[in-house]
Amino acid sequence: MLRLQAPLPDRYTTASPDALREMIRAAKAELGDRLLILGHHYQRDEVIEWADARGDSFKLARFAADSRATDVVFCGVHFMAESADILTSDAQRVVLPDLNAGCSMADMADLDQVEEAWEAIAGVTDVERVVPITYMNSSAAIKAFVGEHGGAVCTSSNARAVLEWAFARGDKVLFFPDQHLGRNTGFDMGYDERDMRVWNPHREFGGLEDADVKEATFLLWRGWCSVHQRFTPEHVADFRAAHPDGTVIVHPECAHEVVEIADRVGSTERILDFVDAAPAGSVIGVGTEIHMVQRLAADHPDKTVVSLDPLICPCSTMFRIDAPHLAWCVESLARGEVVNRITVDPVTAANARVALQRMLDIT
Ligand code: 13P
Ligand code: SF4
With the most atoms of ligand 2 within 8 angstroms of its CB, the residue from 77, 181, 293, 312 to mutate is: 77
pTM of the model as a whole: 0.96
Kindly state the percentage of the chain with pLDDT values over 90. 97
CA distances 291 to 59, 67, 222, 236, 250, Å, are 19, 26, 27, 19, 15
Residue 267 is classified by DSSP as -
- Give the mean model confidence (pLDDT) for residues 123-139: 98
The per-residue pLDDT for 3 is 64
Half-sphere exposure of 298 (CA within 13 A, CB side): 8
How far is ligand 2, taken at its centre, from the CA of residue 101, in Å? 10
345: helix, strand or coil:
coil
pLDDT at residue number 355: 98
Q: Report how far ligand 1's centroid is from the alpha carbon of 12 (Å).
A: 29
Is residue 151 a contact partner of residue 131, using CB atoms and an 8 Å limit? Answer: yes
Q: What DSSP designation does 127 have? A: G
So what's the pLDDT on residue 43?
Answer: 98
pLDDT at 235: 98
pLDDT tens-digit profile of 65-123?
A: 999 999 999 999 999 999 999 999 999 999 999 999 999 999 999 999 999 999 999 99
Is the CB of 81 inside a 6 Å radius of any atom of ligand 2? no
Q: Which protein residue has the closest C-alpha to ligand 1 atom 8?
A: 137
Q: Is the predicted pLDDT of residue 2 greater than 80, yes or no?
A: no
Q: What is the pLDDT of residue 52?
A: 98
HSE, side-chain direction, 13 A CA sphere, residue 112 = 2
Q: What number does the ligand 1 atom closest to the CA of 318 have?
A: 8
Which ligand gives the minimal distance to the CA of 321? 2
- Yes or no: say if 318 and 77 are a contact pair by the CB < 8 Å rule: yes
Report whether pLDDT(54) > 70: yes
Pocket of ligand 2 contains residue 289 by CB under 6 Å: yes
Non-local (6+) Cβ contacts of 313 within 8 A are 227, 230, 231, 289, 290, 307
- For the stretch 248-276, pLDDT in tens is 999 999 999 999 999 999 999 999 999 99
pLDDT tens, residue by residue, 162-182: 999 999 999 999 999 999 999
Q: Taking a C-beta distance cutoff of 8 angstroms, is the pair 43, 321 a contact?
A: yes
Which ligand is the nearest neighbour of the Cα of 229? Answer: 2
CA separation for the pair 303, 21 (Å, rounded): 30
Closest atom of ligand 2 to 315 CA is 3
In angstroms, the CA 196 to CA 219 distance is 6
What is the rounded distance in angstroms from the CA atom of residue 275 to the CA atom of residue 294?
12
Question: Alpha carbon of 346 to those of 87, 98, 115, 144: distances in Å?
Answer: 12, 23, 20, 11
